[in-house]
Amino acid sequence: MRDLREGRVTAYPATERQFRTRLAGAPVSVRSFSRPLERCSPFACLGMCCYDGVYLDDEAADVIELVVQQEGAFFRKAGLELPKQVVIDGDWRGMASGKKTAVRARPFSILLLNHPKHFNDTSCIFLLDDGRCGLQNLSLSRDLHPWYYKPFTCWLHPISVSLDEGGQICLPDEHSEPYRFEDYDGYVTRTFCGQTRACGRPAYEVLQEELHFLGRIIDRDLAGEIRQGNATP
């Protein structure tokens, strides 16, 4: 049986290598991480950012399918009755396509105040009723980092990382929101953890855990770089 704990930091060693290669010298948008945010609690937002599941590369899709095979009893005990096909094919407005986690019905619009009307009443199949992630719970139960089995896109949110040449590490705001259309009023800045909060703290402070974990993978002190950038006249 394959040991999914072979990865240096996460269950996705190939993705780690890709991130290290592509982001070793990628610029960090210091100004974007000065935007005030508030730390979101899954018990308050119920995991609304997970409403459409998450798109996966081949490595993540394979790992998640294998995890479900090996840890089915854990998920059932946690209250997750997973479908036979946990990874499906999808397409989102031509911006994201391919493999993704399946979704199930979930009445967010009834459960949450100020739920964005353009968000569907669905959730990732790994989302627990209390807003926690089943994959994160599995990681914790195995004495691993909480994000060990969690796809990169999930734990990075609301941080945006571009792996293309000339890409950067940034925090989109209402003006640079990448998922806004005439009939879809954004995603990153409409989730509770991505909304600008006038009384919040600078994002690089609120998102210290995410920046530290990403920095651990790509061998950079991202929070330190941002603080130094803010201190530079």
pTM value is 0.93
Inside any domain, residue 221: yes
HSE-CB at 117 with a 13 A cutoff on CA atoms is: 1
pLDDT mean over 142-147: 96
Reference 135, options 206, 39, 144; nearest CA is: 144
Inside any domain, residue 6: no
pLDDT mean over 181-201: 97
Q: What is the largest CA-CA distance in the chain?
A: 56
Residue 178 has pLDDT above 60, yes or no: yes
User: pLDDT (tens digit, 9 = 90+) per residue, 47-58?
Assistant: 999 999 999 999
Spatial neighbors of 175 by CB under 8 A, at least 6 apart, are: none
**DSSP bridge pairs for 103:** 124
> Token pair for residue 9?
């930091």
173 confidence band (pLDDT: 50, 70, 90): very high
Inside any domain, residue 64: yes
Residue 3 has pLDDT above 50, yes or no: no
Reference 3, options 88, 70, 86, 91; nearest CA is: 70
pLDDT in the model for residue 232:
56
213 confidence band (pLDDT: 50, 70, 90): very high
User: pLDDT (tens digit, 9 = 90+) per residue, 81-111?
Assistant: 999 999 999 999 999 999 999 999 999 999 9
Spatial neighbors of 15 by CB under 8 A, at least 6 apart, are: 57, 59, 60, 152
Number of domains the chain contains: 1
- Distance CA(107)–CA(123), nearest Å, equals 9
Inside any domain, residue 8: no
Inside any domain, residue 127: yes
pLDDT mean over 38-55: 94
Inside any domain, residue 85: yes
Inside any domain, residue 141: yes
Sign, CA dihedral 42-198-177-21, equals: negative
Reference 217, options 63, 5, 28, 19; nearest CA is: 19
Inside any domain, residue 114: yes
Range of the structural domain that residue 95 is part of:
13-231
